[in-house]
Chain A
Amino acid sequence: MKSSIRRSTRRSRRAAVAVALGSVLALTATACGDNGSGSAGGKGGEGSGKGTITFWDNNGGVRTDVWKEIIADFEKANPDIKVKYVGVPAASVQSKYDTAIQGGGLPDVGGVGTAMLAEIAAQGALEPLDSRLAKSTLNGKLNEKFLDSVKSAGGDGKTYSVPTSANNGTLWYRTDLFSAAQLDPPTTWTKFYAAAGKLTDQAKNRFGYTIRGGEGSIAQALDAMYGQSGITSFWNGDKTTVDDPKNVAALEKYVGLYKKDTPSADVNNDFTKMVAQWDSGTIGMLSHNLGSYADHEKALSGKFKGIPNPTLDDGTRVQVSNPVDGLGLFKVGKNKAAAWKFIEFAASHEANSKWNESAGQVPANNEAAQDAWVQASEPTKLAAEALNGATTKIVQLPYYLPDWNTISKADNEPNFQKVLLGKTTAKEFLGTLADQLDKAQADWKAHH
């Protein structure tokens, strides 16, 4: 009796172990298999041009309302197509794309800025759009400079996203403080440095400028550096120009503002702190982009203006390329015909104008760029003129390098802080940066 109970206990235990193992193996096998749910290797299709498509907004939250409006307009014009909107927070969009590329669940259409285009395109997730664009109603209606930026960022000269808007570096300045100090607007670098010095009164906690020393500092430093040196190309053959003696001198002068004409806390400034500090303090100037216009308007209405980056004394403006935002079509989409219709609609005159008016950015659609709101919004109008102007030279940053984000963020932001704190020199910093860029460029060339 006892032994039969023991046998049955043993049997039930074995059965339990078998069930448990079976479940684990089933789950493991499931995890390893290709579920066809939209990972980068999957095959998509044109589909019927009807049904539901999924759209990921790469700046979800702040732009959700305007996108929902555009989607409603699109669904009204295309009653057979439904768009499922997914707003992804801007700071996490790259991880969300990377996970979906590896694990499945990519959308049909997604917002993709040039800063992340190379990485996503290199993983084979995006469909080249050149032939679709050539046959589209958008052909000839998109800003050529934005298209060039997108092609350059893709890494192989193909168009992996339809540009929708561009941001631009903007020098925001306090008109009330400038008037009180009888200063001219800081339209040239000479006037900029003069104003920074004159507006600073450390005893009264007043500063001429706030510098970006934390996250995102490199692009801003490069903008100031090339803007002053007048060097118009990022590369001289296969070598970068970042450590050119003119750039070194320009960076030394720019970094010299730190603590002299800026708050000492600036060493940790990311854009949030920098904008909050400028909006709530007594600081003469701030370099950011068009995106913070609404924040300034809330805090300093009527007391500020925004102009493109200062020019050299001869009127030449040199600035680094700003990320161009766009819409990408994912290869795995099973309804690409409908997805493409949505992209065409979103980049068309009316929708593109609506989106950019809400975001305060420069429209990629040439007709939208002529709309009345652009002419009425001075910072956007000036940015559009600067971006399209003949006297503006744009230094194209190498967004196509897969290592660009690592080099320009994780690797060198702490080094830039060391320059601000005087622990290393501008020359050493730029030398290290140049070595890393030259190596990344050589690696990239070896594979292209």
Chain B
Amino acid sequence: MITEIAPDTAPVVSGPARPGKRRRAWDEVPRWQIYLPLGSYLLFTLIPFYWILLFALRPAGSTSLVPWPVTFDHFRKVWTERSFATYFTNSVYVGVATLVLTTVVALAGGYALARFDFRLKRGFLLALLCSQFVPGALLLVPLFQIFARLQMINSLGSVIIAETVFQLPLSMILISGFIRNVPYSLEEAAWVDGCNRLTAFRIVVLPLLRPGLIAVGSFAFVHAWNHFLFALMFLSDQSKQTIPVGLNTLMSADSVDLGALAAGGIIAAVPVVIVFAFIQKWLITGFSAGAVKG
């Protein structure tokens, strides 16, 4: 038995105005009390990044604390000799496919969770939450056997499916929170104007979900981009491997080329940094919107 949930009558969320007295007190805080801790934290966070840049850009064997003379040899080496061009392409493929699949399926599931009541809904939600507590490593053997049966071992499809499946529970819960924030009356108005449910969803609800979708999609992309375990276990051919596995191969049992490792690390980090820089505004809006009524 599936029933639709009653219309949401209090859609608009606006925070209480901050009392003037409190705002003045905040304004009176000396600037150094804000900038000193923030600056210290920033320094603490950025030093490892500087270290990576230093090793990536200075010649092998140099002990200089500034990357001068600058060399791009390490980047050339990992990109051409150590197959990072291939790993990068594979990671983009896995990341984008996981993003699309996760977002589409989570959208459908999230809509159902937000707009319908059905038997065992609470149990289903609980199961979704509980699935977050199971580490991926525990499921490696059954997943491996399933993919082996489906003849998907050594195919990027196996990694994409596994990543999507692991991303879905949280994504679905988040999306359902975002959808609940969209007034039901908007959809009803669209129906009155002649839209069916799907068209109303596409025209009215979907545009309002943009921050939420960006939040969920970027989360799925970054997780798939950085995840090491599934790619290591399900893929064998070097031509199929992804960036995290490639980075691991730069460290042998007893030797490590730090310049190459740092250059590989930068190549791995750049897309994630670009993604976050680009979507930062929507990401914060998306998470705060989901958090209010999720």
Contact = CB atoms under 8 A, between A and B. Distances in A.
Nearest to B238: A87
A34 to B, nearest CB: 9
Contacts of A217: none
B249 A87 contact: yes
B250 interface: yes
A291 B249 contact: no
Interface stretch (A121-129, A242-250, A272-280): A272-280
Interface residues of A, number: 51
B256 A272 contact: yes
Contacts, number: 114
A370 interface: no
Nearest to B234: A105
A99 B233 contact: yes
A334 interface: no
A33 B145 CA distance: 9
Nearest to B254: A291
A280 B232 contact: no
Contacts of A88: 232
B255 A60 contact: no
Q: Which of B148, B153, B232, B253 has its CB near the most chain A CB atoms (within 10 A)? A: B253
Interface string B7-21: 000000000000000
B248 A92 contact: yes
A421 interface: no
Interface string A212-230: 0000000000000000000
A32 B82 CA distance: 38
B236 A63 contact: no
B275 interface: no
Interface class of chain A by DSSP? helix
Given A295-B255, A295-B256, A298-B60, A103 B144 contact: yes
B77 to A, nearest CB: 12
B145 A31 contact: yes
Interface string B227-270: 01000110011100000010011111111111000000000000
Nearest to A282: B63
Contact of A90 (B60, B140, B236, B252): B252
A103 B140 contact: yes
A289 B254 contact: yes
B61 A96 contact: no
Contacts of B129: none
Q: Which of A105, A290, A300 has its CB near the most chain B CB atoms (within 10 A)? A: A105
B149 interface: yes
A272 B251 contact: yes
A292 B256 CA distance: 8
B148 A103 contact: yes
B146 interface: yes
B123 interface: no
Interface residues of B, number: 33
A422 interface: no
B252 A275 contact: no
B142 interface: yes
Nearest to B236: A86
B36 interface: no
A89 B256 CA distance: 12
A35 B146 CA distance: 10
Contact of B145 (A30, A60, A279, A290): A30
Nearest to A68: B238
Interface in A259-306: 271-272, 275-276, 279-281, 288-292, 294-295, 298-301
B134 interface: no
A91 B251 contact: yes
A59 interface: yes
Contacts of B25: none
Given A280-B63, A298-B60, A288 B254 contact: yes
B141 interface: yes
Contacts of B144: 99-100, 103-105
Nearest to A291: B254
Contacts of A89: 232, 245, 248-249, 251
A104 B61 contact: no
A61 interface: yes
Given A31-B149, A61-B249, A105-B153, A298 B254 contact: no
A175 interface: no
Given A104-B144, A300-B61, A59 B149 contact: no
B98 to A, nearest CB: 20
Nearest to A290: B254
Contacts of A167: 254
Contacts of B254: 167, 271, 288-292
Given A30-B146, A294-B255, A61 B233 contact: no
Nearest to B228: A92
Interface string A129-150: 0000000000000000000000
29 contacts: A33-B145, A33-B149, A35-B145, A62-B252, A62-B255, A64-B249, A86-B236, A87-B249, A89-B245, A89-B249, A90-B253, A92-B228, A92-B248, A99-B141, A99-B144, A103-B140, A103-B142, A105-B148, A113-B253, A272-B256, A272-B258, A275-B255, A281-B63, A291-B253, A292-B255, A295-B255, A295-B258, A298-B61, A301-B61
Interface of B: 60-61, 63, 82, 137, 140-142, 144-146, 148-150, 153, 228, 232-233, 236-238, 245, 248-258
